[in-house]
Amino acid sequence: MADPPYGRAASTRGEGIDRLYARAFDAFAELLPRGGHLAIVLPSEKWIERGSKSLELVEAHALRVHRSLVRHFCVFVRA
């Protein structure tokens, strides 16, 4: 399970959030064995789309935390 920083309240140490998520999904795809699953919480559908470039989306569930924050609980698999 992963819950990466959203880039607002958490420090990314100067790395752009787009680059951070791209690197993370590429690393997950490389490290997971075939058939391996990744459970991850994402801040927007944009990152679900990015994750789908590296891994196959199995399911996604949105949870509204408050007016401006929706968390997307996702499961990906390495095909």
User: Could you tell me if residue 2 is inside a domain?
Assistant: no
> Which residue range(s) make up the domain with 37?
17-77
Q: Which residues contact 36 (CB under 8 A, 6 or more apart)?
A: 77, 78
- Using only C-alpha atoms, the chain has a radius of gyration, in whole angstroms, of 12
User: Could you tell me if residue 23 is inside a domain?
Assistant: yes
Mean pLDDT of the chain: 88
User: Could you tell me if residue 67 is inside a domain?
Assistant: yes
Residue 13 binned pLDDT confidence (cut-offs 50, 70, 90): confident
User: Could you tell me if residue 30 is inside a domain?
Assistant: yes
pLDDT digits (tens, 9 = 90+) for 17-42: 888 889 999 999 999 999 999 999 99
Phi, psi of 13 (to 5 degrees): 55, 40
CATH code: domain of residue 73 = 3.40.50.150
Number of domains within the chain:
1
**Is 2's pLDDT higher than 70?**
no
Q: For residues 6-24, give the mean pLDDT.
A: 75
